[in-house]
Structure formats: C-alpha cells, structure tokens
C-alpha cells in the first residue's frame, strides 16, 4: 500500500508541471494584455508597468521566473486588484467556495447513494423508474440553465429565497447555489450506484449471505454496499472537477465572493497572475483529490495495489 501511495503522489508532479506550462503559454497567446483599456496608456506609463511586472522580458525568462515563484508558493501580485496578491485573493474566496463545494459533495453522496440503492432493490418498479427519470433530468439540464430557473421560481415568483448574495454564509443564501451544484452529481452517483448494486446483489456471496438467513438490511449494508461503491469512488475525481468548474458559473450567477468569481473577473480583465493562480490552485486540488480517490479505491479493492 505504501509503494502504491508513493507512486501515485510522485506521478502527480509531472501532471501539475504540464498544467502550469500549458496555462502560462495559453494566457500569453490570448489577445490583449492586463493593462489594455478603452483609453490607451501613455507609452512611458505602459513601459514602466511592463518593467515593474517583468512583462518586458523574453517569454522564456518570464516563464522561468514565474515557475520559480510558484515553487516557493508565491503566485504573484494581481494586475487588476491593487495592493492584493493572488495568494490573498484565493485565501479570501476559499472559505466560500470550500463551504459550497463540501456541502454539495456530501449531499450528493448521501442522496445519490441512497437513491441508487433504493432503485436497485426495487429494480423495474415505480421507485426505480422515478429515480432514473429524476437522474436523467439532472444530467440533461446544465447548471447555468438550472440556476436562473430556480432564481425565477423561488426568488422572483414565490419570494421564499434571495436571488443572490452571501450574507456571511446564511442558510437562505446557500440553499439555491448548493442545490444547483448538487443536482447533477446526485444524478450521476444514483445511476452508478444502481448499476453497481444490481450487479453485486446477483453475485454468489450475496446469495450465500441470504441463504444463511441474514436480514436483507444486513446483506445490503454489510456485504453489498462496500463493493457497490467502487464505481462511485472512481467517479469522485471527475466529480470534484465538475463541481469546481460548475462553481465558477454558479458563484458568478449568484454573486458569491468565492474563488470562481475571481477567476471569471480575472479572465475578463486579462489578469494573468490571478487566472494562473486559480488554475494552479484548482488543478492542484483536482490532482490531490484524484490521488486520494486512488488510495481509497486501493483500500476498498486490494487487487488495485498489484
């Protein structure tokens, strides 16, 4: 297990390096610059800004400088948010994004696994068809469509919930964004759990457990659930990536002061360091979570270690 863990951790380093390299040069290839505006700056002012932020250096020299700073944990200053570093902006928005993401992921796991298990236990019954219909609906409607619909219904028409804002993380403000982030994940997890659970329930050792007279609840929870969760565990890596990418849109729509909103504003303002910093942070988070998922999968299924 230790060798498998070390191998996965070491293998993540080249992935992060490739991510940083691609993001850096793609940002520089984009048209425009961080100091472009409707009114052009005076040449001497533009030259002074380029010198301060090292934009007057050759591109390979800028890349080497930036990579060295990233290794030291310094993501650089923001070009648009004066007197703020990218590290400070990410630290400022992280509690909001983290609270939304963790809440949505936990709810998705609880609801998705429960719904998928119930559908598998009542295969081809009304419960099964209802769960799969809801799952297909959740998969088909993207979050940038679901979010305005929920705002229209619950904020505009019914007036039950606010249309946006954070208000210190109040439950009323979190409810709609969390629902929008949770629905697609619940759909995927429910479908994966249902298919895997049906297959596990037909296996020989489950028949043996039932033949011994064990209660159905014990058979499902103690013998069937753990192997049935293997596809769900495998899905958690892509699920976290989808959750992060979805939060970029959701935070912008609901006006939440999270990292995703900084990323969108940074992209619109051509804030190189801010966009790069968010990409590196999200990329590192996805890589770390994929490594953790691989280790959990190896714990659940020892054959993976070999």
pLDDT per residue as tens digits for the range 239-265? 887 787 678 889 889 989 888 888 888
Can you give the pTM of this predicted structure?
0.83
Portion of the chain with pLDDT greater than 90, in percent: 22
Helix axes 259-268 and 272-300, enclosed angle (nearest 10): 140
14-28, 69-83, 280-294: which range is least confident on average?
A: 280-294
pLDDT of amino acid 83:
82
Which CATH number goes with the domain that contains 132?
1.10.3720.10
CA distance readout (Å), 131 to 26, 136, 137, 222 = 42, 9, 10, 23
Asked if the model's pLDDT at residue 37 lies above 70, the reply is no
- 200 domain-assigned: yes
- 39 domain-assigned: no
Mean pLDDT of 207-221: 84
- 124 domain-assigned: yes
41-45, 111-115, 157-161: which range is least confident on average?
A: 41-45
- Report yes or no: 106 and 114 within 8 Å, Cβ to Cβ: no
pLDDT band at 103 (very low <50, low <70, confident <90, very high): very high
Range of the domain at 257: 86-305
CA distance readout (Å), 91 to 24, 163, 289 = 21, 25, 19
pLDDT of amino acid 305:
56
The helix (H) or strand (E) run that includes residue 94 is helix 86-121
- 116 domain-assigned: yes
Domain count, the chain: 1
Asked if the model's pLDDT at residue 110 lies above 90, the reply is yes
pLDDT of amino acid 304:
58
pLDDT of amino acid 50:
77
- 67 domain-assigned: no
CA distance 55 to 76: 13
- 9 domain-assigned: no
- 4 domain-assigned: no
Structure tokens at 244: 């992060």
pLDDT of amino acid 21:
92
Strand partners, 77: 85
pLDDT of amino acid 2:
61
pLDDT band at 5 (very low <50, low <70, confident <90, very high): low
Q: Give the Cβ contact number of residue 250 at 10 Å.
A: 27
- 115 domain-assigned: yes
């Amino acid at each position: 297990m230790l060798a498998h863990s070390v191998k996965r951790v070491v293998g993540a380093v080249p992935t992060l390096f490739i991510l940083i390299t691609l993001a850096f040069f793609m940002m520089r290839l984009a048209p425009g610059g961080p100091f472009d505006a409707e009114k052009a700056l005076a040449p001497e002012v533009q030259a002074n800004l380029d010198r301060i932020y090292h934009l007057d250096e050759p591109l390979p020299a800028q890349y080497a400088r930036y990579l060295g700073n990233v290794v030291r944990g310094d993501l650089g200053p923001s070009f648009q948010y004066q007197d703020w570093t990218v590290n400070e902006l990410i630290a400022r928005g992280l509690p909001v994004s983290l609270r939304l993401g963790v809440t949505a992921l936990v709810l998705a796991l609880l609801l998705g696994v429960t719904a998928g298990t119930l559908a598998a236990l009542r295969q081809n019954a009304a419960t099964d068809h209802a769960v799969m219909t809801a799952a297909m609906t959740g998969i088909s409607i993207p979050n940038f469509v679901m979010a305005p619909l929920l705002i229209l219904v619950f904020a505009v028409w019914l007036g039950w919930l606010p249309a946006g804002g954070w208000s210190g993380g109040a439950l009323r403000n979190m409810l709609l964004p969390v629902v929008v982030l949770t629905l697609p994940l619940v759909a995927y997890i429910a479908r994966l759990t249902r298919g895997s659970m049906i297959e596990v329930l037909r296996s020989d050792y489950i028949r043996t457990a039932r033949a011994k007279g064990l209660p159905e609840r014990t058979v499902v929870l103690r013998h069937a659930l753990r192997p049935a969760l293997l596809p769900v565990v495998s899905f958690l890596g892509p699920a976290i990536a989808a959750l992060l990418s979805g939060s970029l849109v959701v935070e912008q729509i609901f006006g939440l002061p999270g990292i995703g909103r900084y990323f969108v504003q940074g992209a619109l303002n051509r804030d190189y360091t801010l966009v790069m910093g968010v990409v590196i942070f999200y990329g590192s988070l996805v890589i770390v979570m994929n490594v953790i998922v691989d280790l959990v999968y190896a714990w659940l299924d020892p054959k993976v270690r070999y």
